[in-house]
Structure 1
Amino acid sequence: MSVAGLGRAGPGRRDGAGYIDIAEYAAIGDGRTVALIASDGRIDWLPLPDLDSVPAFAAVLDAADGGFMSLAPVGPYTVQRSYVEGTNVLCTVYRTPSGQARVTDSMNTGVAGRLPWAELVRRLSGLSGSVEFEATVRPGTCLNTASPWLEPGPETTLIRLDGLTMSVQSRGHDHIERDDREVRFRFRSEVGVDHLIGLVATEREPLQVPSLQALDEGVDRTIANWQDWSSAFHWDGEWSGPVHRSALALKLLIHAPTGAIAAAATTSLPEDPSGGKNWDYRYAWVRDMAYSLKALFRFGLREETHSAISWLLATIREHGPDPAVFYQLDGTPSHERTEPDVPGWRGIGPVVTGNRAVSQLQLGVYGDLLDIVARYVDAGNVLDTETARQLEAVADLACDRWRRPDAGMWELPEERHYVTSKLGCWQALVTAVRLCEQGHLAADPSRWRAEAVRIRQWVDEHGWSEQRQAYRWYPGTDELDASILLHAISGFDRGERMSRTLDALQDELGSGPHLFRYSGMHHEEGSFVACSFWMVSALHLCGRSEQARQRFEELLASSNEVGLFAEMLTPADGAFLGNFPQALSLLALINAAITLSEDPKEVS
């Protein structure tokens, strides 16, 4: 088993309430859900059976009653972690005065892909000497909505929780204790011997309990499955390590049953340390899927791209005609926002399920959708007649809607004439015109071409601030919005005005290589990781490649030890904020690397 270079020693420390820094987590998954594993060996997040299910283990949001699965040495230790090379299987090496041992954490997959149940396995392998380990499996309360019940058996412990049936099995333990709330094990590692803990779960269906041998074999099969996927991954540019790791992390967020891509693996990890800016990101944003597909096409990944596009178009047809901002992972509209009565990470609330942005008008979604399909056909694929007509209707909507105020990319409660929203409609229309010219759409593009010109004229008149020498956030203000960077990337402007805007953004929103979202946010939240990487792409496309490359290298150093990013970070100390791992952050990194690998004069 080849393990990529081990990270820094640890582990991180938990505070008095039992919480640990967000940057201390690594992620594993199986195509349906994601588990977060802290550097001290505790699994603090695991929704079952799906990522958007109510979490059975959620100590990251409720240290007292959220539930966790722990496995760590009894005495003092240091820890180094990384993924098995080419996989999302995590390896943690513990070093103690009495010896060394490795824990391999896997969300197992099957012979033909994902399993029809959830299967998490923790394999303990002795490397030298002997180390005493303690493990606990303590289910949570589903965000304080249900009570778990444990049923001890001779070979397994059954857990019943809000429609879930789970079994806990172990191999090689020296001691076991069980009550109606948790099960605890003691292990002693031995060189050449593998111990095991397995959790298997189903929801409202019978539970198949695999043998311990099958669970163990599943770890090796899962490693092989991930490495087979990685062998189909093609990247011939620089920074292969962080690019491949980011793509593997993105793969964790692809919902295998549908092809939808979740924005993040969690809900309610705060953007603002003082509270109030907590969101549920376990949904598929049209915007994020557009950025995802650019990367996936470049890497030669056919199955994910086709599944995502097919799912998205079918979902919009079913619930349209307007594209929504986002959808649930099964393709249905989002449910209402609720606030479970739990404290949140480090007591920073509220904890939420659902997202209020579902009912917002965001004009940028039109450009995102057309861009997705354009990249699909640019890769040599063909549109069906129904999809072509659907896209023509979306372009017509952009013609009519661009004059309206909207909530903007940042999903703000006050609707305004945001400049980048208008540019999202511009992108939709110029893309639709190009698809017509290429023969993919059959409509007359004259209106789309004319409205695209009108939008450009509007932006020239209302979107440029002579005082700031920059594109403004919206008419009537000289405040700035970092999402304008996306329209260096879209091709709207890569000239002198955009280059001056980059300087203005750095002056007002920058902190070293990091960038805040818009004016005033350095008082409320962390820097936005995606914006920081968008700046890299924009600099390169504006002919400032040396600055772009230097910034990119600095930003790569701000990932956590296993190469992952949250939504935000605080520039002063690098602490993570917001949901984790965050697709938009990973995608911005990937697309920046792709952009840097290309001649800016040839990027469309």
Structure 2
Amino acid sequence: MDRPAISDYGFLSDCRSGALVGRDGSVDWWCPDRFDSPAVFGRILDDAAGRWRIAPVGTGRVERAYLPDTLVLRTVHHTPEGSVAVTDALAAEPGARAHQLGHNSPAVLLRVVEGLSGRVPMRLDFTPRPEYGLLTPHLRKLPDGTVRAEAGPVALALRGGPPLHVERDRVRADFAVSAGDRLGFDLAYAPAYGGVPARLDPVDALADTVLAWQAFRESHRYQGRHAGLVRHSATVLQGLTYTRSGAVAAALTTSLPERLGGDRNYDYRYSWLRDFAMTLHALWVAACPDEASRLFAWASRSIGQLGDDPVPVLFGLEGERGLAEHEITHLRGYADSRPVRLGNDAWRQRQLDVPGEVVSAVWRLHEYLGERLDDELRETVVGLTEQVAATWRLPDRGMWETREDERHHVSSKALCWVTMRLAVELAPQLGDRADPVRWRAVRDEIRATVLERGWNERIGAYTGAFGSDELDASALYLPVVGFLPATDPRMRATIAAVERDLATPDGLVRRWSADPGGFLLCSFWLVQCLVLAGERERAEALFTRVAGHANDLGLLAEQVDPVTGGMLGNFPQALSHIGLINAAWELTEPGGD
């Protein structure tokens, strides 16, 4: 397999699911029912796991871009015979506009081919492989030219302009496109026992989908620094939003590796409470109050009534808790990076920072959006606060979700402090169960403990865990959440140590010394820290360098290889775009210097 780089992919979304389309015209990832459902195209993880390619027969130069303010992708192939454009989208519901995106998405993949010059020979190769490549479907050509692909729980219907030829386990079509020609293809999904897949006219549906995305973008106006980048990142976040519930998927994919050939390959198609406050803030910054409120409603319902067990760090897109992890042994993995995993066992971990993120989100909802705290929210805040008061002294797995022994992570303790601080501020809104006097005492004890035990005199910095000699970029989060000002002498020393020992010359920040790639969220945290320390000019320059690691479509993965510049990890990564938005806002806010 001639493996495409992760950066070669473009992202399509209908706010129900998403697809990845390579520069070579191949759809190599699509889980049509919802983001975390089984893939029918999985070539990104194994060449045998299915794809749908439409491209010129020969090679040539490729240029591509999203249509303005959309996730509708137009790829232009320039060949010796002429030029042809392929425009790809996941269809919006007919007539849907702005915030209606995704509520009733028809699960139809649209592809429209347009001849621009000359006469270009084209080839279509359709090889669906449901259940991550476990199934080879039965293919039937109907009298109207439609090809039905059926296997297990999946039914797909493909139709298009030229004749489609069934060749046992795949569909092929060879055709030519001349200047002015326009051919439309649509691929519709439906559950095998749930009725006939939807039928849309591809050209009309594509135009309607463009209008739906542009209406969404028109309703969200951000006026701060780096407005174009922020608006595009907000569109990507909307594309990762499962609109039916309001949950934001951490990424579109599973098991794209943090290190090529390595085994740190995890399933990120779920929604993390740990990222909650950052996500909510980014949506608020990007002027998306409706999305912020719906995200919070999802979280509140997912958490439910609190018991003694820790709040799970992540949930399924409709609030599912049981996300047991297992391996798919028949897939080779991206760049032979095994294992390929489904599910994510981090949901079982104790992560003491989670309540702090949730309570921060409640505070933002109340302070920024003017939302009143109903009985359910009050119970949630009080329950989380009492849980932190009882458990903050325990070790945990930390924000990087280590699968090693639990430790006393500095960032986790700092978020415990955030919980207690904001609970004290919210106490007048919390009813009779609020106990601000006791909470204040716990808050002060946590702070004193972190300041004493988190600082490593030999390293000259706050490290990743109490008693650790290892520098960790999570320390950059302390000024971001207000635990310490960036101008504090020890905090400034920590920022300098991270820049010296964990950052590359172009500003990519590794999480720890052995981390294979620059973690983009940490790099944007460094931007925020520099602003908060009064170094706005350096922060601006760093922001530009870090944001410049996006691909030609403005998409960011989780990490970047500091040697090759190649993207690493699941893609596109919500946290990276969240980091960009929040760093741009920090650069916009007055008072950073």
Q: Which category of TM-score, normalised to the shorter sequence, fits these structures?
A: over 0.9
Offset of residue 319 of structure 1: 7.3
Contact kept, 8 Å, 1:570 with 1:576, in 2: the verdict is yes
Instruction: Pick from 429, 445, 452 the counterpart of residue 454 of structure 1.
Output: 445
1:95 maps to which of 69, 78, 81: 78
Q: Which segment is superposed worse, 368-377 or 112-121?
A: 112-121
Cα distance in 1, alignment partners of residues 179 and 260 from structure 2: 45
1:105 correspondence with 2:94: no
Provide, for residues 83-112 of structure 1, a one-character-per-residue CA deviation record: whole Å limited to 9, x for no partner: 000001001111122222211101001124
Deviations 1:341-392 (CA, angstroms, capped at 9, x unpaired) = 2110121111000112111100010110011111111121111112112211
Match of 1:177 in 2: 165
> Which of 468, 482, 487 in structure 1 is aligned with 2:459?
468
What is the match of residue 58 of structure 1? 42
Residue in 2 that maps onto 1:9 = none
Structural mapping, 1:47-446, within 5 Å:
47-63=31-47, 65-110=48-93, 111-112=95-96, 113=100, 114=102, 115-154=104-143, 155-171=145-161, 173=162, 175-209=163-197, 214-317=201-304, 322-341=310-329, 342-378=331-367, 379-412=369-402, 413-437=404-428, 439=429, 443-446=434-437
Give CA deviations for 1:144-183 in whole Å, capped at 9, x if unaligned. Answer: 4333221121220001132111100002x2x532123111
Q: State the distance in 1 between where 2:283 and 2:499 align.
A: 30
For residue 492 of structure 2, the aligned residue among 499, 523, 527 is 499
The CA distance in 1 between the partners of 2:105 and 2:547, in whole Å, is 36
2:440, 2:376 → 1: CA distance?
22
TM-score by length of 1: 0.93
Residue type at the aligned position of 2:437: S
Are the structure 2 counterparts of residues 180 and 447 from structure 1 closer, same or farther at C-alpha, using a change threshold of 3 Å?
A: farther
Q: CA deviation at 1:469?
A: 2.0
Kindly state the Cα deviation for residue 209 of structure 1 after the two structures are TM-superposed. Answer: 4.9
- Local SS of the residue matching 1:130: strand
- Shift of the 579–34 alpha-carbon distance from structure 1 to 2, 3 Å rule, reads same
Q: Measure, in 2, the Cα distance between the counterparts of 1:492 and 1:415.
A: 22
User: Across the two proteins, how many residue pairs are aligned to each other?
Assistant: 579
Shift of 1:509: 0.8
Change in 2 beyond 3 A, CA 1:544/1:528: same
Offset of 1:141 from its aligned partner? Answer: 4.5
Select the residue among 12, 15, 38 that pairs with 1:31: 15
**Residues 251, 573 of structure 2: 8 Å contact kept:** yes
For residues 141 and 359 of structure 1, what CA distance do their matches in structure 2 show? Answer: 29
CA offset at residue 224 of structure 1?
Answer: 0.2
Q: Answer with 134-143 or 369-378: which moved more.
A: 134-143
**SS of residue paired to 2:149:** strand
Name stretches of at least 5 consecutive residues in structure 2 with no aligned partner: none
Structure 2 partner of 1:4: none
Offset from partner CA, 1:535-593 (integer Å, 9 cap, x none): 10111112121111110011121111101111111112210111000011110011100
Instruction: Specify the code of the residue in structure 2 equivalent to 1:178.
Output: V
Q: TM-score, normalised by structure 2?
A: 0.94
SS of corresponding position for 1:279: coil
For residues 289 and 72 of structure 1, what CA distance do their matches in structure 2 show? 40
User: Hey, what's the Cα distance between the residues in 1 that align with 2:151 and 2:223?
Assistant: 47
Unaligned runs of 5+ residues in structure 1 are 1-16
Whether the 8 Å CA contact 2:25–2:53 is kept in 1: the answer is yes
Letter of the 1:140 counterpart: R
1:352 partner amino acid: R
Contact 2:14–2:90 (Cα < 8 Å) also in 1: yes
Secondary structure at the counterpart of residue 122 of structure 1: strand
The aligned residue for residue 10 of structure 1 is none
Partner-residue secondary structure (3-state), 1:55: coil
What is the identity, as a one-letter code, of the residue corresponding to 1:102? A
Give the Cα–Cα distance (whole angstroms) in 2 for the partners of residues 180 and 118 of structure 1: 25
Distance 2:427 2:590 in 1: 26
Which amino acid in structure 1 is aligned with residue 12 of structure 2? I
Residues 5-44 of structure 1 aligned to structure 2 (within 5 Å): 17-44=1-28
